[in-house]
Structure 1
Amino acid sequence: MATSFDVAVVGAGLGAFHAAEEIAKKSKSTKVAFIFGYTFQEFPLAAAMYLNNPDEHEKWTCGIPEKWQQRWPNVQYFLSSAERIDCDKKEIRLVNKGPDAGALISYKAVILATGSKSPLISPSPGMSLSERIAEVQACGKALRSAKTVIFNGSGLVGVEMCGDFRVQNGYSARIILLSRSGKVLDTDFGEKSQSPNPAVVQRVTDILTRKFKVEVKHGSVSDPKFSDAILSPGSLKLDDGESLDFDVYIPCFPVGPNTGSLVSSKRDLLDAKGALLTNESLQSTSHPEVFGVGITSTKVPGHPVSARITAASQHCALQALAVIEGKPVQVFKDKGAPPPMAHPMNVKIGHGPGGYLIWTSLPGPAKVCCCQCCQGGFPCCPPPCCWCCVAGCSGVCGTCGGPAEGEAPAIFMKSLLQKFQIHGYKGFGEYGGEVPKQDKMT
Structure 2
Amino acid sequence: MAAAIFLNSPEEHVKWTSGDPSKWQPNHANVECFHSSAESVDCDKKEITLMNKGPHAGVVISYKAVILATGQKSPLITPMPGMSLTERISEVQACGKALKNAKTVIFNGAGLVGIEMCGDLRARSGYGARVILLSRSGKVLDSDFGDKALKPDPQIVSKVTDILTNKFKVELKEGSVSDPTLAEPSLSPGTLKLESGETLDFDVYMPCYSAGPNTGFLRSSSAEILDGRGALVVNDSLQSSVHPEVFGVNVTNKKIPGHPVIQYLSATAEHCAKQAISLLEDKPLKPFNGKAETPVPINVKIGHGKGGYMIWYGLPGPAKACCCLPCKGGFPFCPPPCCWCCLPGCSGACGNCGEPAEGEGPAIFMPNLLAKFPTVKGLGDYGLEKPAQATMA
Give the shorter-chain TM-score range. Answer: over 0.9
Query: How far is 1:384 from its partner?
Result: 4.2
Report sequence identity in percent: 65
1:344 and 2:297 matched = yes
For the residues of structure 1 that align with 2:84 and 2:381, how far apart are their CA atoms? 15
Contact 1:46 1:60 (C-alpha < 8 Å) held by counterparts: no
Contact 1:369 1:385 (C-alpha < 8 Å) held by counterparts: no
Amino acid corresponding to residue 415 of structure 1 in structure 2: N
Q: How does 1:79-90 map to 2 (within 5 A)?
A: 79-90=35-46
Query: How far is 1:436 from its partner?
Result: 4.5
1:183-221 deviation per Cα after TM superposition (whole angstroms, max 9, x unaligned): 111122222651001111111111111111101110001
Q: How does 1:5-404 map to 2 (within 5 A)?
A: 45-191=1-147, 194-334=150-290, 339-382=292-335, 384=337, 387-404=340-357
For the residues of structure 1 that align with 2:387 and 2:303, how far apart are their CA atoms? 28
1:247-298 deviation per Cα after TM superposition (whole angstroms, max 9, x unaligned): 0001110111100000111221000110000111111101111110111111
- Determine the structure 1 residue equivalent to 2:378: 427
Worse overlay, 73-82 or 282-291 = 73-82
Worse overlay, 412-421 or 372-381 = 412-421
Task: Number of aligned residue pairs: give it.
Answer: 390
For the residues of structure 2 that align with 1:296 and 1:106, how far apart are their CA atoms? 23
Structure 2: gaps (5+ residues): none
Contact 1:83 1:93 (C-alpha < 8 Å) held by counterparts: yes
Query: How far is 1:63 from its partner?
Result: 1.5
For the residues of structure 2 that align with 1:99 and 1:78, how far apart are their CA atoms? 8
For the residues of structure 2 that align with 1:79 and 1:148, how far apart are their CA atoms? 39
Amino acid corresponding to residue 416 of structure 1 in structure 2: L
Cα distance change of structure 1 residues 239 and 357 upon mapping to structure 2, 3 Å threshold: same
Local SS of the residue matching 2:233: coil
Output the TM-score relative to the length of structure 1.
0.85
Amino acid corresponding to residue 262 of structure 1 in structure 2: L
For the residues of structure 2 that align with 1:144 and 1:201, how far apart are their CA atoms? 28
Contact 1:150 1:250 (C-alpha < 8 Å) held by counterparts: yes
Output the TM-score relative to the length of structure 2.
0.96
Contact 1:301 1:340 (C-alpha < 8 Å) held by counterparts: no
Contact 2:147 2:296 (C-alpha < 8 Å) held by counterparts: no
